[in-house]
């Protein structure tokens, strides 16, 4: 026991221990963090409900009104969330009933791609905040291939997807090479590159070549049909081929990290760069490679946007996926399977947004608050352990590393 | 310490309890209400809805103005409303779908960013009517009405007023972003100043817009950016400024009131009413009545008179206009404005930048 405490404090001292503890927290902590945030979310829903506030003014003359208003607010919110994200029993046809879940998977796709990339980085000890910029650059390059070039079916999509991966990879390579050669901290560099990517895209969208003919709005033409991800389950569902590709990437990421020599090097560099160097590994090459792979995956998240759902470039093409993906990667404990599940959870939370507003009359921000609460609880494992009386952690990362 | 917390807790609880002491409403009240009281308008079976862009309905700019139009329609026409706010660009399509599923008869989309999503939703739901602010389709879609505004017309008048009133011979403008719905104001302003120069042989200069490039804050919510941009222009000798950036204009008001002897021209709504504390430095405001257009589009639809014909707000139909001009401006200038306005309406004066 004292042994483990010593290891923990040692790791804290070098500053990376905390990140690793968060990135590789126990499954139980993750599950309870989600439950805790749902409970806190209910309290916020009650507080945000006008009916409850109205009924509370005459609480003592008829308390039942207040409680039924509270119950109604919370239940209608979670029912709307369920119907908006998973299954809508009011849909006329079976297709309409399961459409919400298909929407969830569609929204999960960019989160899944970007989360996988970030997860690989986290396990290699690189705290990459740059997925946002990498998504933007991927979408920009791939989108340009999509709307400006005229190519045959199949080849066009392939080149557009590769363009997305390349755009993201370039944006990952820059902080990677800077870190490897000069020691520039990847957090600072990637954050700054996010701004550069966003402003670069905003500027490109002022150019004639990136605008629709006859319009000066900062919005690109739609990508050609030949460059769009085909819909995998027919026209009634928004789910596109990008999701299948994302699942393949998840398998690829698992194989890379768990089965390949390269992945072993990445993990070794993450666990202890000095030891990895002593063992004869090329740490600099590993850092650059990790960032390039992470960037390419984030770029593919851009492809899910520009070739899958949005179909044209605007300055908001990346939405907030680059930052949400950080949460997804942390929630998924940086493991591919965990990231798949976390991405679907977050996809569901996002997909439920419209139903929450329209059906339950809740502000859209409540979804953001629940997401943020999950992050808060994940980032504070002792708090979750205290709340749910969980046992102290047994450091399984010795096994992992 | 513990005592303080206890006392505080007791106080808080009793405050809550007291607040909860009012009497319960009568159970029957709601049913009596609807039959006895005269409603502001007959309740009609019509639901109008609106989707915001990523700015949200509280953006103090066109989303909010459009939303006010929707609220006015609710009050005046006695219809039901519903809204969906978009957190980001990914939600435009899903929000439109959710409102269609909610049974909306007429859905208002705020802004060109919703253009593709609205077209797709309109195609998938031919029985639902849509209107979209600051955007028009070419060719028009059967069930979508574009709501556009000739903002250059009142801006032309504002440019003329600014050119007549400047003491330094330099007037300024800047935009939120270099997009057509913003630069329309700047074009009209520039053209108005040029017209003044031609008519009177003056040589008033416009800083911040030359017809194709100019100054932009690249944001519609960064008030400090508007302030520093305005300060920069004041340092160059500008004494009248037109900020075309929604709420960022407040930064211009701050900078102008600190510098003194500087006027600001409002945009979208009447700044003299919106920012009362700065009313004495507001020269006039260029009005773009999105709320009126939204309410009219809904009203037409309620009356069964929906058409997909593009609406263009002009000086003639008062969809755009110029607010009252500050007293400091010569009465003769205000008279000339009427003549110019008539000229713009009958086409004898061009508001395009020459």
Q: Give A7-36 pLDDT, tens digit per residue.
A: 444 444 455 666 666 655 677 788 888 888
User: Across the interface, which of A216, A359, A363 has its CB nearest the CB of B179?
Assistant: A216
Q: What is the CATH number of the domain that holds B52?
A: 3.40.50.2300
pLDDT in tens, A53-82: 888 888 888 888 888 888 988 898 889 889
How many Cβ pairs within 8 Å bridge chains A and B? 102
Peptide bond into B139 cis (omega under 30): yes
Residue A262 lies in a domain: yes
Residue A319 to chain B, least CA–CA distance (Å): 6
Q: Where is the domain boundary, B149, B170, B191?
A: B149
Statement to judge: residues B216 and B192 lie in one domain: yes
Q: Do A368 and B93 touch (CB under 8 A)?
A: no
Chain B nearest-CA residue for A65: B24
What is the spatial distance between Cα B186 and Cα A366, in angstroms, rounded to a whole number?
Answer: 38
B338 in the same domain as B215: yes
- B132 with B253, same domain: the answer is no
Does some domain include residue B15? no
Query: Is the CB of residue A215 less than 8 Å away from at least one CB of chain B?
Result: yes
Position A121 scores a pLDDT of 95
- Residues in chain B closer than 8 A to A202 (CB atoms): 218
Strand B282-288 with B320-322, pairing = antiparallel
Contact A57 B20 (CB under 8 A): yes
Q: How far is B205 from chain A (nearest CA, A)?
A: 26
Select, from the ranges A298-307, A378-387, B79-88, the one with the highest average predicted confidence (pLDDT): A298-307
pLDDT band at residue A399, thresholds of 50, 70 and 90? very low
Residue B20 maps to a domain: no
Does a structural domain hold residue B301? no
The 10s digit of each residue's pLDDT in A114-160 is 999 999 999 999 999 999 999 999 999 999 999 999 999 999 999 99
Could you tell me the CA-to-CA distances from A396 to A8, A16, A192, A399 in Å, in that order? 12, 16, 34, 5
DSSP B305-316: ----PPEEE-TT
Distance between CA atoms of residues B80 and B78, nearest Å: 7
Cβ pair A56:B180 closer than 8 A: no
Domain count, chain A: 1
Distance CA A300, CA A295 (A): 9
3-state secondary structure A13-67: HCCHHHHHHHHCCCHHHHHHHHHHHHHHHHHHHHHHCHHHHHHHCCCCCCHHHHH
B117, B174: one domain: no
Chain B neighbors of A206, CB-CB under 8 A: 178
Minimal-distance CA residue of chain B relative to A110: B90
User: Does A359 sit within 8 Å of B20, measured CB to CB?
Assistant: no
Q: What is the DSSP letter of B282?
A: E
Nearest-by-CA chain B residue for A320: B88
Shortest CA distance from B24: residue in chain A: A58
Chain A 307-326, CB below 8 Å of chain B: which residues?
309-312, 314, 316-317, 319-320
Q: Is residue A310 part of a domain?
A: yes
* Domain match, B265 and B166 both: yes
> Are B127 and B107 members of one domain?
yes
Residue B52 and residue B112 in one domain: yes
Distance CA B340, CA B338 (A): 5
Q: Is residue A195 part of a domain?
A: yes
Q: Do the chains contact at B84 and A357, CB–CB below 8 Å?
A: yes
- Closest-CA residue in chain A for B181? A217
pLDDT exceeding 90 applies to what percent of chain A? 56
Sign of CA dihedral A113, A114, A117, A118: negative
Write the Ramachandran bin of A87: left for phi over 0, alpha for psi from -120 to 50, otherwise beta: beta
pTM attached to this predicted model: 0.83
Interface of A with B in 219-248 (CB under 8 A): 219, 222
Residues β-bridged to residue B147: B133, B311
- Please give the mean pLDDT across all residues of chain B: 88
From the list A293, A305, A69, the residue with the least C-alpha distance to A170 is: A293
Å between B203 CA and nearest CA of chain A: 30
Nearest CA among A222, A246, A250, A221 for reference residue A232: A246
CA B147-B150-B156 angle, 5° bins: 160
* Domain end (from B149, B182, B198): B149
SS3 content of chain A, % helix, strand, coil (to 5): 75, 0, 25
* B199 plus B281 within the same structural domain: yes
3-class SS of residue B67: helix
A56 with B19: Cβ contact below 8 A: yes
Residue B10: inside a domain, yes or no? no
The whole-number pLDDT of residue B26 equals 64
pLDDT, tens digit, 9 for 90 and up, residues B5-64: 777 777 777 766 666 667 777 654 444 444 444 445 556 889 999 999 888 888 878 899
Range of the domain at A185: 109-347
Q: Would you state the pLDDT for residue B69?
A: 95
Structure tokens at B301: 């639809």
The answer to whether residue A6 is domain-embedded is no
Of A218, A354, A359, the CB nearest to B95: A354
Using CB atoms and an 8 Å cut-off, which of residues 251-270 of chain A contact chain B?
Answer: none
pLDDT tens for residues A285-340? 999 999 999 999 999 999 999 999 999 999 889 988 999 999 899 888 899 999 99
* B181 and B246 assigned to the same domain: yes
Residue A112's pLDDT is what? 97
**pLDDT digits 0-9 by tens, B200-219:** 998 999 999 998 889 999 88
The two most distant CA atoms of chain B are separated, in Å, by 80
Q: Is A95 on the interface with B (CB under 8 A)?
A: no
Contact residues, chain B to chain A, C-beta under 8 Å: 17, 19-25, 54, 82-91, 93-95, 97-99, 101-102, 112-113, 115-116, 138, 177-180, 183, 218
Q: Answer whether residue B27 is part of any domain.
A: no
Do B102 and B174 fall into the same domain? no
In this structure, are B211 and B231 located in the same domain?
yes
Q: Residue A16's pLDDT is what?
A: 60
Report pLDDT for B16. 64
Mean pLDDT across chain A: 87
Side-chain-facing half-sphere of A276: CA atoms under 13 Å: 23
Last residue in a domain, options B92, B114, B149: B149
Tell the burial category of A115 from Cβ atoms under 10 Å away from its Cβ (0-12, 13-18, 19+). Answer: buried
Nearest to B175 by CA among B148, B205, B203, B151: B151
Q: Is residue A397 part of a domain?
A: no
Tell me if A22 is assigned to some domain.
no
Q: How many distinct structural domains can be found in chain B?
A: 2
Of the listed ranges A10-24, A263-277, A347-361, B194-208, the least confidently predicted one is A10-24
- What DSSP letter does each residue of A176-225 carry, written as one string? HHHHHHH---HHHHHHHHHHHHHHHHHHHTTSGGGS-TT--SS-PPPPPG
- Which residue range forms the structural domain that includes residue B97? 47-149
Q: Is residue B174 part of a domain?
A: yes
Give domain status of residue B54, yes or no. Answer: yes
Q: Is B177 in the same domain as B253?
A: yes
Q: Is residue A337 part of a domain?
A: yes
What are the pLDDT digits (tens) for B92-111?
999 999 999 899 999 999 98
Considering only the beta carbons, identify the residue of A60, A216, A314 that sits closest to B21: A60
Task: Tell me the nearest-neighbour CA distance from B16 into chain A, angstroms.
Answer: 9
Determine the distance from the C-alpha atom of residue B333 to the mean position of all C-alpha atoms in its chain, rounded to a whole number.
26
Which residues of chain B neighbour A310 with C-beta distances below 8 Å? 89-90
pLDDT score of A397: 46
pLDDT of residue B237: 93
Q: Do the Cβ atoms of B98 and A350 come within 8 Å?
A: no
What pLDDT, on the 0 to 100 scale, is given for residue B161? Answer: 95
Q: Which residue has the higher pLDDT, A356 or B228?
A: B228
B85 and A354 Cβ atoms separated by less than 8 Å: no
Q: Which residues pair with B241 in a beta bridge?
A: B172, B264
What is the Cα gyration radius of chain B?
24
């Amino acid at each position: 026991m004292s042994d483990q405490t010593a290891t923990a404090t040692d790791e804290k001292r070098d500053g990376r221990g905390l990140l690793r503890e968060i990135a590789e927290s126990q499954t139980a902590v993750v599950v309870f963090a989600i439950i805790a945030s749902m409970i806190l979310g209910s309290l916020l829903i009650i507080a945000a409900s006008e009916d409850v506030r109205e009924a509370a003014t005459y609480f003592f003359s008829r308390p039942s009104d207040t409680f039924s208003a509270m119950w109604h607010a919370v239940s209608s919110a979670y029912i709307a969330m369920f119907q908006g994200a998973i299954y809508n029993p009011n849909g006329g046809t079976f297709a309409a009933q399961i459409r919400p879940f298909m929407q969830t998977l569609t929204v999960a796709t960019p989160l899944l791609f970007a989360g996988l990339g970030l997860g690989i980085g986290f396990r290699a000890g690189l705290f990459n905040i740059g997925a946002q910029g990498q998504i933007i650059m991927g979408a920009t390059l791939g989108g340009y291939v999509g709307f400006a070039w005229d190519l045959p079916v199949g080849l066009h999509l392939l080149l557009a997807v590769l363009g997305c991966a390349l755009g993201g990879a370039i944006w990952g390579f820059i902080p990677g090479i800077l870190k490897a050669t000069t020691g520039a901290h990847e957090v600072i560099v990637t954050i700054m590159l996010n701004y550069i990517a966003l402003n670069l895209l905003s500027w490109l969208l002022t150019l004639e070549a990136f605008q629709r003919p006859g319009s000066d709005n900062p919005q690109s033409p739609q990508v050609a049909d030949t460059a769009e991800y085909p819909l995998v389950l027919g026209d009634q569902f928004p789910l596109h081929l990008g999701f299948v590709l994302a699942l393949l990437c998840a398998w690829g990421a698992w194989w890379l990290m768990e089965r390949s020599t390269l992945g072993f090097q990445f993990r070794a560099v993450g666990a202890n760069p000095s030891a990895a160097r002593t063992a004869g590994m090329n740490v600099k090459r590993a850092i650059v490679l990790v960032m390039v792979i992470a960037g390419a995956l984030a770029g593919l998240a851009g492809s899910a946007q520009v070739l899958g759902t949005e179909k044209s470039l605007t300055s908001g093409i990346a939405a907030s996926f680059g930052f949400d993906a950080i949460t997804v990667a942390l929630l998924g404990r940086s493991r591919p399977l965990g990231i798949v599940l976390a991405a679907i959870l977050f996809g569901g939370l996002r997909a439920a947004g419209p139903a929450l507003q329209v059906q339950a009359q809740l502000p859209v921000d409540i979804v953001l608050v629940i997401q943020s609460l999950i992050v808060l609880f994940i980032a504070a494992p002792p708090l979750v352990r205290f709340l749910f009386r969980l046992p102290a952690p047994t450091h399984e990362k010795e096994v992992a590393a | 310490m513990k005592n303080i917390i206890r006392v505080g807790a007791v106080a808080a609880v009793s405050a809550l309890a007291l607040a909860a002491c009012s009497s319960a409403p009568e159970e029957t009240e709601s049913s009596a209400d609807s039959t006895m009281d005269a409603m502001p308008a007959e309740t009609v079976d019509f639901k109008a809805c609106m989707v915001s862009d990523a700015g949200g309905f509280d953006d103090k700019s066109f989303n909010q103005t459009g939303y006010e139009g929707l609220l006015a329609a609710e009050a005046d026409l006695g219809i039901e409303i519903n809204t969906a706010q978009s957190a980001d660009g990914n939600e435009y399509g899903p929000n439109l779908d959710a409102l269609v599923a909610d049974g909306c008869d007429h859905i208002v989309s705020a802004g060109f960013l919703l253009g593709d999503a609205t077209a797709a939703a309109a195609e998938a739901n031919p029985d639902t009517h849509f209107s979209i602010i600051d955007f028009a389709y070419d060719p028009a879609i059967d069930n979508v009405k574009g709501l556009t505004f000739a903002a250059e017309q009142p801006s032309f008048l504002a440019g003329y007023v600014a050119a007549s009133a400047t003491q330094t011979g330099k007037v300024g403008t800047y935009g939120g972003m270099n997009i057509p719905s913003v630069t329309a104001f700047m074009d009209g302003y520039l053209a108005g100043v040029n017209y003044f120069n031609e008519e009177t042989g003056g040589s008033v200069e416009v800083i911040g817009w030359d017809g194709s490039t100019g100054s932009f804050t690249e944001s519609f919510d960064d008030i400090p950016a508007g302030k520093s941009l305005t300060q920069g222009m004041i340092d160059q000798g500008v004494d009248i400024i037109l900020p075309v950036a929604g709420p960022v204009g407040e930064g211009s008001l701050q900078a102008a009131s600190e510098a003194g002897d500087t006027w600001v021209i409002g945009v979208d709504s009447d700044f003299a009413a919106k920012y009362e504390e700065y009313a004495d430095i507001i020269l006039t405001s260029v009005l773009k009545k999105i709320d009126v257009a939204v309410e009219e589009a809904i009203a037409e639809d309620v009356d069964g008179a929906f058409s997909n014909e593009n609406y263009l707000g002009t000086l003639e139909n008062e969809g755009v206009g110029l607010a009252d001009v500050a007293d400091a401006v010569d009465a003769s200038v205000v008279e000339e404005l009427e003549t110019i306005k008539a000229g713009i309406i009958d086409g004898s004066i061009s508001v395009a930048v020459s």
